[in-house]
Structure 1
Amino acid sequence: MSTLDKSITIHRSSRMLQENKILLLWSLSICIVVVNATMLNVALPSLLNEMMLSSAKASWLLTSYNIVFAISTLSYSSLSDFISIKRLLTIGLILLSLGSFIMMTADHFYLLIIARILQALGAGAVPGLAMVYAGRYVEESRKGKYMAFIASATSFGFGFGPLLGGIITEFLGWRYMFGIAGSIILLLPLFHKMLTAEELKSGKFDVVGGILTGASVTGVLLLISTHSTYILILSILSMVLWWRHIRTASHPFVKPILLKNITFAKLLFMSFCAFIVHFSTLFLIPIMLSTLFQNEASTIGMKIFPGAIFSAIAAPFIGRIMNRAGNIRAILLGQLLLLFSTLLFFMLATTSQLAIVISYIFMSIGFSFFTASIANEISSIFNKEDVGMGLGISQLIQLSGSAFGIALSAAVLVWRDHDLPEVRFQSIFIGLCILIISSLLVSILYLRSKRQGFSK
């Protein structure tokens, strides 16, 4: 081997080692963010009792977080075009830690809301910038592995959050949960050390577009829960103003040309459906276990946790399958697993706790397959200039899908209140099956159109 070959090999090995370190750091950060988002679900009964809140008031701790988190994720992705990832991440982690420490000491509901919004403003930086980093700086041959670990860290957080939240709430109290998210600031020096300097372009941030985007998403979610005519009118008005604004703004919050991209629109539809299915199920599992089987909070967390473990174990295999079979086949496999698990929930979940555990294991693995491959596919259809906004829009749609799924499932439970609990749950799962089948059909059409493109 020549001296030149040796130096190239050493450089490549050094770069891969650096990428692996950053990957572990991003994965840990995303896991902490997801754990922070999901822990509160199992702690809500304790919080309600201590602060004497109604269920409607307490739900705003979840709703406000989801809305702000979705908008801030897209905002960080857009800002990364002309502000460095390192600087944006610094702002995000400081806001997340500040909000967490306020949550630990807050003694008033409205202070809790402000703290939760601060958390969401900061937390959006982590998944948004992790995907931007992958789209811009990770080589194509290693991108599958990167996306798989990120997706598995997310799934692990979804399973580990309720377990950890239940244990902390039961033995220490709900306030101590937020020390987990507050500790994320300790990772900031490591990010500063590992993230390199970037070449940035000049630009402006579309504040009006961001506000109108947030108003539109909020309006749709409120409409599902309130069924108010006034909310409907305001939602339509905000969406009309939003579309008019992004078509005329010089630096729009969302580029309309990306939304007119049929290939991208198909991927967004698949994402929206998958996130509705996964988050509706995560919302329903604790209710089923407590209503049908009288489980406590910590016990519920223990029954969700196996799905997280299997998802984490599957991460290396997901990356290899994506690299060998391609993104589209991995997307199809993820959707098939989601469909299989949803059918299991429909047929068996109301009769057996073990069926719930096994069904969620399949769903968690399928969700990891899907989220890793869909992110990889989206990053491959855009150039470096648009990849940040493309991934940001994708995450906005995904997070909106998660909030939409929860709100819709809650509305169906109330609407079918006269039915037996088993019937209510089964009616939701059959609807989720239909949804994932429609997503599968779109993915098959997407695969065919891509093959035709290659043949030309």
Structure 2
Amino acid sequence: MSLSQTVHHTKDRELDELTKKRLLRLLSLILIFAVMNGTMFNVAIPDIQSHFGLSSSEVSWVLTGYIMVYAVGALIYGKLADYYPIKSILTFGIILFSLGALLGFFSPNFFTLIIARILQAAGGATIPALGFIIPARFFPKERGKVFGVISSTVAFASGVGPIVGGTVGGWLDWRFLFLFSVASLIALPFFRQWVPEEERKEGTIDFLGAGLFSAATASLLLFVTTLLPWFLLSFAVLCVLFIWRTMKVSDPFIRPDMLKNKYYTVTILTSFLGTSVLFGLLFVIPIMMRQLYDMSTLGIGLVLFPGAISAGFLGRLGGELVDRRGGEFVVVLALCLVGGGSFLISTFAGYAPWVVSLALLVAYIGFPLIQSSTANLLSSILSPRETGVGIGIFNLLNFMAGAVSSAVFGAVLESQRVSLSMNPFSRHGDNLIFSNLYICLGLVAAAALTLFLATFKKRPGAFHQPASKPSEVH
């Protein structure tokens, strides 16, 4: 039996409806733990810095190290899922995620804390990586709706993470944030019971190629976060070695044929640009709230909360819309919301915080729509043997989008104030640099929309309603 035939050859019983509901709810719950673990610690950085007596560059590794390992891990686990049972990968990941959290809770020094965060990232990366593969593999008829639930969960957890982090860190101590991750062990026996059995697929993984690609990605992330030229040089050298390895080996880590598929490359690029806009907003708005309004961490969290909770509830409807109208239509809708929301925030920057919060809500709703529609498109574009690594690259670029946005817009905010407004409807004052940044984010969304429409308007069947209505998952 060929590899392409075995990738979906599971003991792949058709899941009954009750098991589907249970598995989806459990997957959403564990995603909350994984995503919040990344965003909760953003607000705890000052406390960690004070506790261990660290410089700003030293304490930044609490986030940088986590993001770097998490991003690379999402790709690696996606590739492993093409060959190994999802149940086994999840078991390994959840245990490692929890052990890292336990070590972090008791960490006596900063070095131990960094090791704990790396272990957390190495284990936690299995959760979002497989969170988008499980629907493609086990929910083929309800794929769009399930992707919508997953994406809305990610959006919701991203928004409430800082609120939970600020609340727990303020009332108790930053160490107690680790206990959220330890609690994920509760989900393990249920995953073992409800995830279908699979057989080990034939074939081998190019681990040397995987190592080169991972090292290149880590070098790029380090350059983006530190701007040290040595990391950029390292990235260039490793890319050359990875290309050499890819051309030499018979079954490379990433197959060139997949990257030559213009629909695949444009889809992940569109997702990267759209997600960069959203992460850019989430990075800049807290800084604006602090500088213009002198708001507390909790207050900033409350500004973000309406968008996060709305995305959590409406994301599922977006998944249903994917099933009814197709992924292409929802990608366009999502980019319009993100771009339009960016323009609204640019216009009302400097107004009352609740006005900014409502404008952000428009853009925030686009977050789960981009995720669900893109994941659905990728699962239809890719062949079965490419699904795991293809969605892995999608996850990798999403994580890199956050790092790139933070680095670029952080550098812009450190520049001098501007006097020229790019938005004729905005106020003039201290808000001007923020207003211009939001306009730039809107232009990025417009560029992504233009690229997507130019590519997919010629794809057969694009922007047409699916012929049949898929069955429902509640």
- Structure 1 residues 127 and 224: CA distance shift in structure 2, 3 A: closer
Task: Report the secondary structure of 1:415's partner residue.
Answer: coil
DSSP-derived class of the 2:136 partner:
helix
- 1:245-287 alpha-carbon deviations (Å, 9 max, x no partner): 2222334222222112111110011011011111111112221
1:124 aligns with 2:131: no
The within-5 A match list for 1:24-423 is: 24-140=25-141, 142-416=142-416, 422-423=431-432
Q: Which amino acid aligns with 2:40?
A: M
> RMSD value over aligned CA atoms?
2.1
Deviation at residue 453 of structure 1 after TM alignment: 8.0
Preserved contact between residue 133 and residue 387 of structure 2 (Cα < 8 Å)? yes
| 3-state SS, counterpart of residue 268 of structure 2 | helix
- Shifted more, 417-426 versus 102-111: the winner is 417-426
Letter aligned with residue 149 of structure 2: F
Q: Is the contact made by 2:418 and 2:433 (CA closer than 8 Å) also made in structure 1?
A: no
8 A contact 2:156–2:311 mirrored in 1? yes
* Contact 1:96 1:181 survives alignment (8 Å): yes
Segment drifting more, 30-39 vs 401-410: 401-410
CA distance in 1, matches of 2:254, 2:57: 32
For residues 31 and 155 of structure 1, the distance between their equivalents in structure 2, rounded to whole angstroms, comes to 9
**Inter-partner Cα distance in structure 1 for 2:405 and 2:432:** 18
C-alpha distance in 1 between matches for 2:393 and 2:227? 27
Does the 8 A contact of 2:456 with 2:462 survive in 1? Answer: no
Q: Distance in 2 between the 1:415 and 1:219 partners?
A: 26
State the secondary structure of the residue aligned to 1:41.
coil
Deviation at 1:454, TM superposition (A): 10
Structure 1, unmatched stretches of 5+, are 1-11
- Alignment partners' CA distance in 2, 1:453 and 1:286: 38
Deviation at 1:414, TM superposition (A): 2.2
Q: Are the aligned partners of 2:289 and 2:295 in contact in 1 as well (CA < 8 Å)?
A: yes
SS in 2 for 1:122: helix
Q: Secondary structure at the match of 1:360?
A: helix
Match of 2:452 among 440, 443, 450: 443
Paired residues of 2:325 and 2:463 also in contact (CA < 8 A): no
Say which is worse superposed, 19-28 or 315-324, in terms of deviation.
315-324
Cα deviation, 1:392-445, whole Å, max 9, x if unaligned, reads 111112211221111111122223478875233233222211111110001211
- Residues 254, 393 of structure 1: 8 Å contact kept: no
For 2:191 and 2:254, locate their aligned partners in 1 and report how far apart those are by CA, in whole Å.
Answer: 28
- Residues 72 and 218, structure 2, Cα contact 8 Å, conserved in 1: no
TM-score, scaled relative to structure 2: 0.89
Identity %: 31
Judge conservation of contact 2:78–2:130 (CA < 8 Å) in 1. yes
**Cα deviation, residue 359, structure 1:** 2.1
CA contact (8 A) 2:73 2:126 kept: yes
- Give deviations 1:71-101, integer Å, cap 9, x for gaps: 1111111111221111100110011101111
Structure 1 residue 185, shift from structure 2 partner: 1.0
- In the alignment, the residues of structure 2 paired with residue 73 and residue 289 of structure 1 have an alpha-carbon distance, to the nearest angstrom, of 32
How far did residue 333 of structure 1 move?
0.6
User: C-alpha separation between the residues in 2 aligned to 1:282 and 1:226?
Assistant: 20
- For these two proteins, the number of residue pairs brought into alignment is 443
1:270-329 deviation per Cα after TM superposition (whole angstroms, max 9, x unaligned): 011011111111112221112211111222222212212111221332122111111110
Residue equivalent to 1:8: none
What does the per-residue CA deviation read over 1:74-131, in whole Å, with 9 as the maximum and x for residues that have no partner? 1111111221111100110011101111111213222111111111101110111121
What SS does the aligned partner of 2:414 have? helix
Q: Please state how far the C-alpha of 1:63 moved relative to its aligned partner.
A: 1.3
Q: What is the rounded CA distance, in whole Å, between the counterparts of 1:14 and 1:254 in structure 2? A: 31
TM-score by length of 1: 0.92
Give the superposition deviation at 1:242: 1.6
Specify the alignment match of 1:4 in structure 2: none
Alpha-carbon distance between aligned partners in 2 of 1:452 and 1:83, rounded to the nearest angstrom: 33
> How many angstroms apart in 1 are the aligned matches of 2:286 and 2:461?
45
Q: 1:453 to 1:173 in 2, by over 3 A?
A: closer
Listed one character per residue, the Cα deviations across residues 140-180 of structure 1 (whole Å, up to 9, x for unaligned) are: 3x111100000000011011101111100110011101101
Q: Deviations over 1:331-357 (max 9, x none)?
A: 111111100111112111233311221
